[in-house]
Amino acid sequence: SAVISQKPSRDICQRGTSLTIQCQVDSQVTMMFWYRQQPGQSLTLIATANQGSEATYESGFVIDKFPISRPNLTFSTLTVSNMSPEDSSIYLCSVDPGQAQGTQYFGPGTRLTVL
Protein backbone atom coordinates (compact mmCIF):
# COMPACT_ATOMS: atom_id res chain seq x y z
CA SER A 1 0.00 0.00 0.00
CA ALA A 2 0.98 3.67 -0.06
CA VAL A 3 0.78 6.43 2.52
CA ILE A 4 -0.96 9.49 1.17
CA SER A 5 -1.35 12.89 2.76
CA GLN A 6 -3.48 15.83 1.70
CA LYS A 7 -3.37 19.51 2.54
CA PRO A 8 -5.40 21.26 3.71
CA SER A 9 -7.52 18.78 5.64
CA ARG A 10 -10.40 21.25 5.60
CA ASP A 11 -11.14 24.80 4.54
CA ILE A 12 -13.96 27.29 4.44
CA CYS A 13 -13.84 29.56 1.41
CA GLN A 14 -15.77 32.44 -0.03
CA ARG A 15 -17.71 32.21 -3.25
CA GLY A 16 -15.64 33.20 -6.30
CA THR A 17 -12.26 32.31 -4.82
CA SER A 18 -10.02 29.34 -5.66
CA LEU A 19 -8.44 26.65 -3.49
CA THR A 20 -5.51 24.41 -4.32
CA ILE A 21 -5.41 20.99 -2.68
CA GLN A 22 -2.11 19.15 -2.42
CA CYS A 23 -1.62 15.38 -2.48
CA GLN A 24 1.69 13.80 -1.44
CA VAL A 25 2.55 10.10 -1.71
CA ASP A 26 5.36 8.31 0.10
CA SER A 27 6.39 6.31 -2.98
CA GLN A 28 6.60 6.89 -6.70
CA VAL A 29 3.40 6.09 -8.57
CA THR A 30 2.44 6.78 -12.15
CA MET A 31 -1.30 6.91 -11.76
CA MET A 32 -3.16 9.28 -9.48
CA PHE A 33 -6.82 10.13 -9.37
CA TRP A 34 -8.93 12.93 -7.95
CA TYR A 35 -12.42 12.22 -6.65
CA ARG A 36 -15.25 14.25 -5.21
CA GLN A 37 -17.52 12.88 -2.49
CA GLN A 38 -20.60 14.94 -1.78
CA PRO A 39 -22.38 14.48 1.56
CA GLY A 40 -23.94 11.03 1.84
CA GLN A 41 -22.93 10.11 -1.68
CA SER A 42 -20.36 7.95 -3.36
CA LEU A 43 -17.07 8.90 -4.91
CA THR A 44 -17.22 10.56 -8.30
CA LEU A 45 -14.07 10.57 -10.38
CA ILE A 46 -13.01 14.05 -11.45
CA ALA A 47 -9.87 13.23 -13.41
CA THR A 48 -6.92 10.91 -13.87
CA ALA A 49 -3.54 12.57 -13.36
CA ASN A 50 -0.63 10.60 -14.78
CA GLN A 51 2.85 11.99 -14.54
CA GLY A 52 4.16 13.14 -17.89
CA SER A 53 0.80 13.67 -19.55
CA GLU A 54 -2.16 16.00 -19.39
CA ALA A 55 -4.88 15.12 -16.92
CA THR A 56 -7.87 13.27 -18.35
CA TYR A 57 -11.21 14.63 -17.15
CA GLU A 58 -14.44 12.73 -16.71
CA SER A 59 -17.69 13.87 -18.24
CA GLY A 60 -19.02 16.89 -16.39
CA PHE A 61 -15.61 18.11 -15.20
CA VAL A 62 -13.47 20.61 -17.12
CA ILE A 63 -9.90 21.80 -16.83
CA ASP A 64 -10.85 25.45 -16.39
CA LYS A 65 -12.80 24.61 -13.26
CA PHE A 66 -10.50 21.89 -11.88
CA PRO A 67 -6.95 22.45 -13.14
CA ILE A 68 -4.56 19.69 -12.08
CA SER A 69 -0.80 19.59 -11.89
CA ARG A 70 1.37 16.48 -11.68
CA PRO A 71 4.97 17.69 -11.57
CA ASN A 72 6.52 14.41 -10.39
CA LEU A 73 5.74 10.84 -9.35
CA THR A 74 4.93 11.66 -5.71
CA PHE A 75 2.90 14.87 -5.88
CA SER A 76 -0.22 16.36 -7.44
CA THR A 77 -2.46 19.37 -6.94
CA LEU A 78 -6.11 19.96 -7.72
CA THR A 79 -7.42 23.51 -7.86
CA VAL A 80 -11.10 24.24 -7.43
CA SER A 81 -11.59 27.53 -9.28
CA ASN A 82 -14.22 30.26 -8.99
CA MET A 83 -15.96 28.33 -6.25
CA SER A 84 -19.67 28.26 -5.57
CA PRO A 85 -21.57 26.60 -2.69
CA GLU A 86 -22.22 23.63 -5.02
CA ASP A 87 -18.49 22.87 -4.84
CA SER A 88 -18.78 22.12 -1.12
CA SER A 89 -17.62 18.55 -0.90
CA ILE A 90 -14.84 16.23 0.18
CA TYR A 91 -12.03 16.01 -2.34
CA LEU A 92 -9.95 12.85 -2.31
CA CYS A 93 -6.81 11.88 -4.12
CA SER A 94 -5.90 8.26 -4.71
CA VAL A 95 -3.01 6.33 -6.22
CA ASP A 96 -2.91 3.19 -8.30
CA PRO A 97 0.42 1.45 -7.69
CA GLY A 98 -0.10 -0.78 -10.72
CA GLN A 99 -1.23 -3.96 -8.99
CA ALA A 100 -2.97 -6.54 -11.17
CA GLN A 101 -6.37 -5.98 -9.58
CA GLY A 102 -6.31 -2.21 -10.03
CA THR A 103 -6.77 -1.37 -6.36
CA GLN A 104 -6.36 2.23 -5.32
CA TYR A 105 -5.23 3.76 -2.05
CA PHE A 106 -6.78 6.96 -0.79
CA GLY A 107 -5.69 10.04 1.03
CA PRO A 108 -7.65 11.32 4.04
CA GLY A 109 -9.57 13.88 2.00
CA THR A 110 -10.01 17.64 2.03
CA ARG A 111 -13.33 18.88 3.38
CA LEU A 112 -14.29 22.06 1.53
CA THR A 113 -17.12 24.37 2.49
CA VAL A 114 -17.95 27.28 0.20
CA LEU A 115 -20.02 30.10 1.64
**Residues near another protein, by CB under 8 A:** 1, 4, 31, 33, 40-43, 45, 48, 92, 96, 100-109, 111
Q: Torsions phi, psi of 89, nearest 5?
A: -175, 175
7 vs 111 by CB, closer to another protein: 111
84 or 99, CB closer to another protein? 99
Give min distance, CB of 85 to another protein, in A: 20
Least Cβ distance, residue 11 to another protein (angstroms)? 14
∠ CA(84), CA(89), CA(90), 5° rounding?
145
Closest CA to 25 of 98, 109, 106: 106
Which helix (H) or strand (E) segment holds residue 95: the answer is strand 89-96
